[in-house]
Amino acid sequence: KWNIELKNANNITIEAIITIKNLDGKNLIFINSIDCINEMILLGDLPKEDCAVYCSINSKEKVADLFQEFTNRPQHKYNFYTSSYFSGVDIYGDYNLVTIVDCTRPHTLLSPSKIKQIAGRVRNAVLSDTIVTNYSPSFFKRQFEGYTEERIKDAEKSMASIDNNNI
């Protein structure tokens, strides 16, 4: 059992950069956005030789020479992971965990079970576990107001299309 620190910030990218730069040791940084990863590396002026990105082969071009094939013993100081590595992999070594959830980018939203999966990836010592987010109930409501209704309308249109085509 270990402590999880929750950091809620208006500027999630800057807060994430400050967080990872202040950690000693190797870091596993989980965020489901290649754009956010590239932005953090650029704005944080992180040395490219200290960075590795573990993502799907479809995103390889977007991270260029930072793309890494999976290893269960990552050696870089900053190891970024997209959702393709959030479950089903074992990582050996002592690491700081940083999970980034940006509510302005819906594809980065993670369920509680995904967050548990992230913590469960490390098979040795978890040096620290930090979640950086910009969540607030009022922001979330404004950001996603109508989202559910739109998805329901999309589903109804699809069902109507199927019914009309007698499939």
Per-residue pLDDT of the chain (167 residues; tens, 9 = 90+): 567 888 988 899 999 999 999 999 999 999 989 999 999 999 999 999 999 999 988 889 999 999 998 889 999 999 999 887 776 778 999 999 999 988 777 777 777 777 777 878 888 888 999 999 887 665 555 555 555 666 677 677 766 766 666 55
Neighbouring residues of 62: CB distance < 8 A, sequence distance ≥ 6: 34, 35, 38
Tokens of 148: 């559910």
77 φ, ψ (degrees, to nearest 5):
-70, -40
Residue-level pLDDT at 66: 96
